[in-house]
Amino acid sequence: MFDRVAFVTGSSRGIGRAIALTLSREGFFIVVASPEVENNERVAGEIRAGGGQAMTLNLDISSLDSIKEGFGQTLKDKGRIDILVNNAGITRDGLAVRMKPADWDLVLNINLHGAFHAVQQVLPGMMRNRWGRIINIASVVGQAGSPGQANYAASKAGLIGLTKALAQEVASRGITVNAVAPGYIATDMTKVLPEEVKAKILAAVPLGRMGQPDDIAAAVKFLASEDASYITGQVLAVNGGMYM
């Protein structure tokens, strides 16, 4: 048990926390990585309280230096990273005509560039071991678009393209690369939406409810398992039917 190491970015709360806890229950050693140091420790404590094992990292996914340091420390301590979940993401919404360059750059840097740099850190070891799982958390917005979210939509659509290209590059080494595209999930990111916006979104969800972080974690658990060993380059939509 705990032979395999799962590195989950943005795992201090929300979807990332749910993924970390779920993978821990499957017997993976968890690297809880985000810039929220206190929350990292809280999640790691939950994992240990449930009988799992974890370490924490103060990781700024927008900084290449921080990425290299964090992944390097994990490889030094654990010797391997078997599963990478690129979950870290932010929004900086605004109409494209008025969007500040800084808001465009920040969202792309964290949501897309950071994920790519993280992939580069884990691929050499996965290729040597001839086994690996890379799971990118995309979004329904990257598939269907969303007004006022040009930066977020572009970053998540880019993540889907990255998933498909990587899957073709590394399949011969026993590495699968897939994406999970959440729909409207109850997290801190969606909690701040105005009530009229929430109602409009829910009206477009055939299942008639918001998803929960555990819904996304269940999809990640499947893609990380041996049951998904013949699945790569795919986007698993977990959206209640709001985009088909």
pLDDT digits (tens, 9 = 90+) for 144-203: 999 999 999 999 999 999 999 999 999 999 999 999 999 999 988 777 778 888 888 899
pLDDT digits (tens, 9 = 90+) for 43-70: 999 999 999 999 999 999 999 999 999 9
10 Å CB burial of residue 186 (0-12, 13-18, 19+) is middle
Residues of the chain with pLDDT > 70, as a percent, come to: 99
For residues 60-89, average pLDDT: 98
Instruction: Kindly report whether the global pTM for this prediction surpasses the value 0.85.
Output: yes
User: What does pLDDT average to over the chain?
Assistant: 96
pLDDT of amino acid 193: 79
For residues 5-9, average pLDDT: 98
pLDDT digits (tens, 9 = 90+) for 101-116: 999 999 999 999 999 9
Residues in Cβ contact with 158 at an 8 Å cutoff, skipping those fewer than 6 apart: 108, 111, 112, 142
Whether 149 is in a domain gets the answer: yes
Task: Indicate whether 118 pLDDT > 60.
Answer: yes
Structural domains in the chain (count): 1
Residues in Cβ contact with 65 at an 8 Å cutoff, skipping those fewer than 6 apart: none
DSSP-derived 3-state class of residue 217 = helix
What is the DSSP code (8-state) at residue 144?
Answer: H
The residue segments making up the domain with residue 10 are 5-238
Whether 122 is in a domain gets the answer: yes
pLDDT-derived band at 1, boundaries 50, 70, 90: low
Whether 244 is in a domain gets the answer: no
Phi, then psi, of 188 in degrees rounded to 5:
-60, -30
Catalytic residue among 152, 184, 230, 243: 152
Report the CATH number that the domain containing residue 149 is assigned in CATH: 3.40.50.720
Task: Indicate whether 84 pLDDT > 80.
Answer: yes
Spell out the long-range contacts of 191-197 with Cβ–Cβ below 8 A and sequence spacing 24 or more.
none
Whether 95 is in a domain gets the answer: yes
Is 152 known to be catalytic?
A: yes
**What distance, in Å, lies between the first and last C-alpha atoms of the chain?**
38
Task: Indicate whether 88 pLDDT > 70.
Answer: yes
Q: Which two tokens stand for residue 186?
A: 């109850």
Whether 243 is in a domain gets the answer: no
What is the dihedral sign for C-alpha 173, 80, 84, 231? positive
Whether 41 is in a domain gets the answer: yes
Whether 27 is in a domain gets the answer: yes
